[in-house]
Structure formats: C-alpha cells, structure tokens
Amino acid sequence: MMTAKDMTRTDLFAGIDEKGVNMLLGCLHAREKHFQKNDIIALEDDQIRFVGLVLDGTVNMVKEDIWGDETLLSFISRGEVFGETFALQKNTNSYVTFMAGEETNVLFMPANDIIHSCPDGCNCHAQITTNMFNILGKKGVMLMEKIEVSSRSSLREKILSYLSILVQKQGRRTVQSPLNRTRMADYLGVNRSAMTRELATMKREGIIDFDKNEYTVYAEEMEA
Amino acid sequence: MMTAKDMTRTDLFAGIDEKGVNMLLGCLHAREKHFQKNDIIALEDDQIRFVGLVLDGTVNMVKEDIWGDETLLSFISRGEVFGETFALQKNTNSYVTFMAGEETNVLFMPANDIIHSCPDGCNCHAQITTNMFNILGKKGVMLMEKIEVSSRSSLREKILSYLSILVQKQGRRTVQSPLNRTRMADYLGVNRSAMTRELATMKREGIIDFDKNEYTVYAEEMEA
DNA sequence: CCATGCTTGTTGCAATGGCAACACACTTTC
DNA sequence: GAAAGTGTGTTGCCATTGCAACAAGCATGG
C-alpha cells in the first residue's frame, strides 16, 4: 500500500505535504482500483477521462497494430503517473492500451479535476497543475531522447548517441549506464550480440572504453 | 504578420475570441521578437523560461551531440508553439536548441504566466491552461508514433507500422500519406531507395498496394 | 555441492538494407 | 524551349547487422 506520506514523494504530489495530499484526494475525487495481472486498465468511464497513479505494482503501456500484434512501449512503476498524455487531450482515439503487469493498485483521478482548479480554490491545486506540466515535460524529454537514439541509421551511431546523452546528463566523459547490455540493446532497438560486437570493435579502435555498465567516451574533436 | 484573429485559430488560443486574445497578450506579458535565418532562439532570459508561438516563418529544433554534430529533430511552423516541453519544467538543461529556419517572428510568453492563473482571475486563463495540456498531449502522441515506427527492426516492419497508424487514424484500409516517398523514408529513418525497393516487393507479394501517396493495406489476419 | 537461471561475449552465416549511379517524369524559371 | 531543380523507380555491390548457437561467469536456491 501507499500512504499519504509516500505520495508526497511522487512527482504528482511533489511539494505538497501529507495534509495537503489528504485534502486533494477528496478534492480530486480520487478512486482506487485493483487489477490482476494482464487486466486491461481503462482510462475512460462514461466519457470521463482519468489519470492514473500507480500505488503498487506495474502498468505496461502497449500498442496494438492492425494485425493484432502488441508492442511494449514502456512501463509505469509504483509512484509514477500514466495516461496523462491522453487524458488531458480532447481528441483521444486511445492510441495505446494499459495493462497490469502484475497485481496492481491504481489511483484514478478525473483529468478535468486535475486541469481545472476546484471551485473552493484549494491552493494545493495550483501545485498539482504545475506538477502535471513537469511530468509531461519530463516524459517529452524522455521520448525525444529515445527518438534521437533510435533514428540514427548505424549501430555505431546509435551507441554513440546514447552515450552522448548520458555524458551530457552526467556531466562527465565516464558514465554509468542505467541499462545493462540486454536492456540497452533493447532500448536501441538492435540485436544484442551485434551490439556487443560493435562495442568490442569501438573499444579496439580506441573510441570508447567500458567495463560492466561504466562507459568512457573518448572524443577527439569537441568543436564542430 | 499575425493578427489577433489569426491567433484565435492556433492551438494555443483555441476557444478564445479576438477580444480575449488581446486581453491575454497583456496578461501573459507576451513579447514579440524578430530573428534572421540561423539565429539561435533562446528560451531563457534571466532565469525566466519562455514558451514561443511562431507568428511567421519556421523554427527548427536541433540537437547537438558531444561531437558538435547537429540533428534536426523537428520543425515548428507558423501558428505552432515550441519550447513548452522544456519551459514548463524545473530541471531543464536545455536539451535542444531552437534556430530560425528563415526570417521568423516569435511571440514569447513567460512559462510561469501560462501555468499560473493571473491574480485578476481573467477567465480566459483557464482556457490557456487547458490548451497547453492539449498541445503537450498532442506532441506526446506524435512522439510516441515516431518511436513506434522507428523502433521496429526491419524495413518492412517500419513501413507496415507507419501504415498501420495511418489506417487507425483514418479508419480505412486505404489511406493517404501526408508524406511523399522522400520524406517518408526520412521519417522512418531508412534509405529512400531501399524503401522504394521494399515497397515494390511488398506490392508484388500482395501485402499492400499503392499509387502515389495513397496506400492500401491488405491484412489477411485481423485477430491475434 | 549441484542445478537452474540470467547476463554477457564470441563467431559463422546469410540477408537486410545503405549507397551510389542512373533514367525518367514533372515543374519552375529564365 | 532549354536548363535546372525535385521527386521517383531501378539495380548492382557489399558492409552492416540480425540470427542462432555456444561457452563462460555469476547469483540464487535447494
């Protein structure tokens, strides 16, 4: 379970204290629901759109194409929000499906209550709006990073662009990758063994060095 | 130039009338600036972050890696908003750079004024907030579409996934592609001639049919 | 201790797909 | 009407990279 105190540590309720959270939960008409693994989580209910906060478990975001094949686009963990991209829009042909990845508890909040300040003018509400913008911004950046990486044509470019982002974020030429080989290959959308092979080649050529999940990028030329 | 009336037709000012727009422009402390081609457009000014509305011209969103190489991530046209993903966040290491693609006029509005209702409680302000959520949602969907497509491994899968999205959007098996061959290859991140080759193969195999920018997808099996 | 599972590195093989070069059609401009 | 620009289809070549199979390392658990 997730206590109000736990919630103050989520991005959605950031900057709001325990008391404020408890007040907001009522003000936002928050409702908790329980799901079994592989249950489909609907974000719409009688025309009202919801944003979900994962209280426990994991939610998988999957996309089905017209042949019925599913792709896992991303997953949402405890304390994270999902559905915001779709719920806050008018025109939503529900682009993706959300499924419980395990036994999961979700707190639903009507999108409208999040967007619009409540009539009582509770002042925590402004904070929620700010937080929502933050969350949307963060997600946007994550998506752009993924695009930057996967839109490169060669395997080597993908690796370098992934490492380049890490270097920019961590501010050092030696970086820790949060992803292990297998997951990294998955993220880059390439074959794992091909990636390992290319990494070895790049190491041999002196372009990069690595050990476990620590990588060092040797950039000869810094200026364009 | 862009009149207040033109602005009512943008996503940012959707649902607001001419009078409201004029009022908001003051209320939002909007400021217009002019740029020459290739000028760098800063979104920060003394710690204050801005959202930009393109009044005329084009703004290119480019990303520079640690070797100084630039990639064009997307471009923003007249009437569209940019910077919202970054401006509305706290933690912004300005992930990308915006450049004028030609002679361009931009209307800047401080992000804070957009997020927070003005003290006078002008009622158009709520609409702007709603609109911003809409814009962020739309952009999120666009980014996810691009990821879905470019994360496929084979050229054929990329094409099919691109077409699948069009089919889902247009609700018919025969769809119009907004992109011509060259741009489509660019969007999919593949070589144009390779794509033409694969399209021809798929046509020969009876999987799809196409003429100019109209494509028909023959899906034998609809159910998983 | 062994068994099992997970991650990583390696390598041969085959094919996918990038590249370059070219031909053709169509449009715009002078 | 020539010339230049742009979008498109085709094809040969071969580097890149996906795939499969295997070995080794390391943790977990009985």
Q: Give the model confidence (pLDDT) of B144-195 as tens digits.
A: 999 989 888 899 999 999 999 999 889 999 999 999 999 999 899 899 999 9
Residue A130 is given by DSSP the state H
Query: Higher pLDDT residue, A213 or A1?
Result: A213
Comparing A174 with B95, which gets the higher pLDDT?
A174
CA distances to A10, A163, A197, B48 from A128, rounded to whole Å, are: 11, 34, 47, 21
Q: Is the dihedral of CA B170, B171, B177, B179 positive or negative?
A: positive
pLDDT tens per residue, range A118-166: 666 667 778 888 899 999 999 998 999 999 898 888 899 999 999 999 9
Across all strands, nucleotide nearest B212 (CA–C1') = D8
pLDDT confidence tier of residue B114, bands split at 50, 70 and 90: confident
C-alpha–C-alpha distance, residues B221 and B172, integer Å: 16
Residue B91 scores a pLDDT above 70: no
Q: Output the pLDDT for position A199.
A: 96
Tokens 């990636």 sit at which residue?
A195
Q: Is B33 helix (H, G, I), strand (E, B) or coil?
A: strand
- Find out whether A115 and B133 touch, Cβ atoms under 8 Å: yes
pLDDT(A69) > 90: no
Contact, B192 CB vs strand D, < 7 Å: yes
Query: Is the pLDDT reported for residue B95 higher than 60?
Result: yes
pLDDT of residue B36: 85
Closest CA of chain B from A46, distance in Å: 20
Which tokens go with B155?
């050229």
Average pLDDT over residues B41-65: 83
Smallest Cα distance from A212 to chain B, Å: 22
Q: Please tell me if residue A11 touches chain B, with a CB cutoff of 8 Å.
A: no
CA of A163 to C1' of D17 (A): 20
Q: Tell whether the torsion through CA atoms of B85, A78, A164 and B183 is positive or negative.
A: negative
pLDDT computed for residue A222 by the predictor = 40
B171 close contact with A: CB closer than 8 A:
no
Chain D nucleotides near the protein (CB, 7 A): 7-12, 16-21
Weakest mean pLDDT among A115-124, B29-38, B98-107, B160-169: A115-124
Q: Which 54-73 residues of chain B touch chain A by CB within 8 A?
A: 63, 65-71, 73
Q: What is the pLDDT of residue A116?
A: 78
Distance between the alpha carbon (CA) of A99 and the C1' atom of C15, Å: 36
Evaluate if residue B89 carries a pLDDT over 90. Answer: no
Residues B214, A61 contacting (CB under 8 angstroms):
no
Q: Which residues touch strand C (CB under 7 A)?
A: A 153, 180-183, 192-193, 196-197, 199-200, 213; B 153-156, 189-191, 193-195, 197-198
- Please state, as a whole number, how many other Cβ atoms lie within 10 Å of the Cβ of residue A7: 23
- Residues of chain A contacting B153 with CB distance shorter than 8 Å: 189-191
> In the beta sheet, which residues pair with residue A64?
A70
Q: How far is CA A50 from CA A8, A29, A44, A89, in A?
A: 20, 11, 6, 11
Judge: A133–B151 Cβ closer than 8 Å, yes or no. Answer: no
CA proximity to B110, closest of B35, B42, B53, B30 = B30
List of chain A residues whose C-beta atoms are within 8 Å of the C-beta of residue B15: none
pLDDT of residue B93: 61
Phi–psi pair at B82, nearest 5 degrees: -140, 160
Residue closest to A10 by CA, chosen among A95, A87, A77:
A77
Task: Say whether residue B127 is in contact with chain A using an 8 A CB cutoff.
Answer: no
Backbone φ and ψ of A18, nearest 5°: -55, -45
Mean pLDDT of chain B: 86
- pLDDT score for A60: 85
Q: What is the pLDDT averaged over residues A167-175?
A: 91
Of chain B residues 19-58, which have a CB less than 8 A from chain A? Answer: none
| pLDDT of amino acid B224 | 32
More confident residue, B115 or A143: A143
DSSP annotation string for B81-108: EESHHHHT-SS----SEEEESSSEEEEE
Protein CA B160 to sugar C1' C26 (Å): 29
pLDDT value at residue B121 = 62
Task: Give the nearest partner residue to B137 out of A67, A69, A85, using CB atoms.
Answer: A85
pLDDT at residue A220 greater than cutoff 80: no
Are A70 and A62 in contact, with CB atoms under 8 Å apart? yes
Give the Cα separation of A133 and A168 in Å (integer): 23
Task: Give the residue from chain B lying closest to A165, CA to CA.
Answer: B65
pLDDT for position B223: 35
Task: Report pLDDT digits (tens) over B187-224.
Answer: 998 999 999 999 999 999 999 999 989 999 996 544 33
Two tokens at B92?
A: 């912004």
| Residue A120, pLDDT score | 62
Categorise residue A149: left if φ over 0, alpha if ψ from -120 to 50, beta otherwise: alpha
pLDDT at A91: 63
Query: How many contacts, defined by CB atoms under 8 Å, are there between A and B?
Result: 163
The predicted structure's pLDDT at residue A92: 57
Q: Is A83 left (phi over 0), alpha (psi -120 to 50) or beta?
A: left
Chain A 158-217, CB < 7 Å to strand D = 190-191, 193-195, 197-198
